[in-house]
Structure 1
């Protein structure tokens, strides 16, 4: 079931969005009325989708909050806002939102905006997970191996560059998979590197 966090400082609007989501989609919801409530909810809920207002009446905007959350969590985001200014929309676009809905929001507009993102989450997305930062989990050699996997080097080429045996590299790969909680089959490590190359 898709987990949705609604970050909206106006409770009436938040409840309306929640009601529409629960009546139209297979999902669980939670409302955060402030930045602090959102920061608390993220690790507890690990939402797949955030519906976020831009103007949260705080020192931090919704865009700044989303940029901060992107560092530690994988999720899709839809901005729901009254801002139609091109500069604000461009700023929002820098956080790679899945959609941008202009207030006031009606049922049809909300359904259309969310439906496309729900399909993406259910079929193609890595949303709903905490991002594991390799630097905090792996040693220098393991990070170097990941970087070379990213650069499409073979085990033999990696071994030569690090002056190690291919057998030692295979052991390192096994340890990396264990630390990143990856299944060793089906090229799981290569897939992880391709999806998370920005972390290396």
Structure 2
């Protein structure tokens, strides 16, 4: 199920967006009405889709907040904002949003804007699953899923009835295929960024 984070400082608008999303799509939603709430929700929820207002009446704008998030997370982005001037739209475009919806937003406008993005996400996800299946064997895919579930090498070995040494070899091979360094939790970071593709 798609996880959607709504970053909007006006709670009535946020609740309207949430209600429309839940009515139209199969998704888990969460609302953040401040920058701090958004940072907390982003870390806990790891959303697939972020709907973000630009003017958050907070320490940073929605564009600045999204720029911060893009360096740590992978997600699709839709701005929902009353800003229509060219310079703001150009700034927003630099963060590569999937859509830009102008307020006041109605039910049909929201559905159309989100439907296009969700369809694209589902197509991408299906393609990436095929790509992962081509790239890794079944054991490696199971190991990646267990890493996503925060299992240690020892726990993965017990679950797959293999030795920890064998699991380490598999992890080494996975890192080589992904061109990752084996230190600094690089594989865990990769898994967290691509967890939706792992099923």
TM-score, normalisation: structure 2:
0.65
Once the two structures are superposed, residues 87-122 of structure 1 have per-residue CA deviations (whole angstroms, 9 ceiling, x without a partner) of 000000000000000000000000000001011122
Unaligned 5+ runs, structure 1? 127-169, 183-191, 193-200
**Hey, what does 1:195 align to over in structure 2?**
none
Residues 38-53 of structure 1 mapped to structure 2, 5 A cutoff: 38-53=38-53
**Hey, what does 1:129 align to over in structure 2?**
none
Higher-helix-fraction structure: 2
Residues 1:172 and 1:74: Cα distance change in structure 2 (over 3 Å): closer
**Hey, what does 1:11 align to over in structure 2?**
11
Residues 127-142 of structure 1 mapped to structure 2, 5 A cutoff: none
Give the superposed CA RMSD: 2.4
Query: 2: CA distance between counterparts of 1:62 and 1:32?
Result: 12
**Hey, what does 1:21 align to over in structure 2?**
21
3-state SS in 2 of match to 1:117: helix
Unaligned 5+ runs, structure 2? 127-168, 177-181, 195-199
State which structure, 1 or 2, has the greater radius of gyration over its C-alpha atoms: 1
Residues 1:73 and 1:84: Cα distance change in structure 2 (over 3 Å): same
- Aligned length in residues: 140
1:93 equivalenced with 2:93 (yes/no) = yes
TM-score, normalisation: structure 1:
0.65
3-state SS in 2 of match to 1:124: helix
**Hey, what does 1:33 align to over in structure 2?**
33
**Hey, what does 1:174 align to over in structure 2?**
173
CA offset at residue 26 of structure 1? Answer: 0.6
